[in-house]
Amino acid sequence: MTDSKPSSNHSIKIIAGSDKIMRRVSKLISVVKFGGSSVKNIGRIQHVAEIVKTRMEDGPVLVVVSAMGDTTDYLIKLAHQASSKPDQRELDHLLATGEQISITLLAMVLRNMNIKASSYTASQVGIFTENVHNKARIVDIRKQTLLDSFRDNEVIVVAGFQGVTTGGDVTTLGRGGSDTTAVALAAALGLIECDIYTDVDGIYTADPRVIPEAKLLERISYDEVVEMARLGAQVIHPRAVELARQYEIKLRIRNTFKPEHTGTVIDGGEDMEVYRTVSGVAVDKDQSSVCIMDVPDVPGIAGEIMQALADKNIVIDMIMQALYPTAGLNNMTFTVNSSDLDETIDALEKMTGRLGAKGVIFDSDIAKVSLIGSGMAGQPAVAAKLFTVLGKNKINIKMISGSEKKLTCVVAASQADAAARVIHEAFGLGDREGT
Nearer CB in complex with ligand ADP: 104/234: 234
Report the C-alpha gap between 233 and 200 in whole angstroms.
Answer: 13
> Which one of Mg ion, ligand ASP, ligand ADP, none interacts with residue 204, CB within 5 to 8 A by kind?
ligand ADP
Under 8 Å between Cβ of 374 and 280? no
Residue 266 CA, chain-centre distance (Å), reads: 14
Q: How far is the CB of 220 from ligand ASP (least distance, A)?
A: 20
Positions in 34-63 near ligand ASP (CB under 6 A): 35-36
Where do contacts with ligand ADP occur on this chain (CB under 6 A)?
35-38, 66, 176, 198-200, 203-204, 206-209, 233-235, 280
Q: How far is the CB of 19 from ligand ASP (least distance, A)?
A: 32
Q: How far is the CB of 232 from Mg ion (least distance, A)?
A: 12
Map residue 367 onto helix, strand or coil: strand
98 binds ligand ASP (CB under 6 A): yes
Report the C-alpha gap between 290 and 60 in whole angstroms.
Answer: 49
Map residue 353 onto helix, strand or coil: helix
Q: How far is the CB of 66 from ligand ASP (least distance, A)?
A: 3
Map residue 395 onto helix, strand or coil: coil
Nearer CB in complex with ligand ADP: 234/313: 234
- Exactly one of 5, 175, 245, 254 binds ligand ASP (CB under 6 A); that residue is 175
- Cα dihedral 238, 320, 285, 383 in deg (nearest 10): -80
Nearer CB in complex with ligand ADP: 154/284: 284
Q: Which helix (H) or strand (E) holds 147?
A: helix 143-148
Q: How far is the CB of 176 from Mg ion (least distance, A)?
A: 4
DSSP string, 51-118: HHHHHGGGS-EEEEE--STTHHHHHHHHHHHH-SS--HHHHHHHHHHHHHHHHHHHHHHHHHTT--EE
Residue type, 344: T
Report the C-alpha gap between 57 and 55 in whole angstroms.
Answer: 5
Report the C-alpha gap between 130 and 143 in whole angstroms.
Answer: 18
176 binds ligand ASP (CB under 6 A): yes
Q: How far is the CB of 255 from ligand ADP (least distance, A)?
A: 10
Q: How far is the CB of 161 from ligand ASP (least distance, A)?
A: 4
Q: Which residues pair with 295 in a beta bridge?
A: 330
- Exactly one of 56, 67, 147, 225 binds ligand ASP (CB under 6 A); that residue is 67
With vertex at residue 257, the alpha carbon angle to CA 253 and CA 259, rounded to the nearest 5 degrees, is: 60
> Which one of ligand ADP, ligand ASP, Mg ion, none interacts with residue 67, CB within 5 to 8 A by kind?
ligand ASP
Order across the sheet with 399-403: list the strands.
316-320, 329-337, 280-296, 359-372, 406-412, 399-403
Under 8 Å between Cβ of 372 and 228? yes
Nearer CB in complex with Mg ion: 237/368: 237
- Exactly one of 178, 205, 370, 415 binds ligand ASP (CB under 6 A); that residue is 178
Positions in 218-247 near ligand ASP (CB under 6 A): none
Which of 276, 198, 194, 277 has the alpha carbon at shortest distance from 234? 198
Nearer CB in complex with Mg ion: 155/200: 200
66 binds ligand ASP (CB under 6 A): yes
Nearer CB in complex with ligand ADP: 204/362: 204
Q: How far is the CB of 282 from ligand ADP (least distance, A)?
A: 6
Total residues binding ligand ASP (CB under 6 A): 12
Nearer CB in complex with Mg ion: 170/236: 236
160 binds ligand ASP (CB under 6 A): yes
Q: How far is the CB of 141 from ligand ADP (least distance, A)?
A: 21
Binding site for ligand ASP (CB under 6 A): 35-36, 66-67, 72, 98, 160-161, 175-178
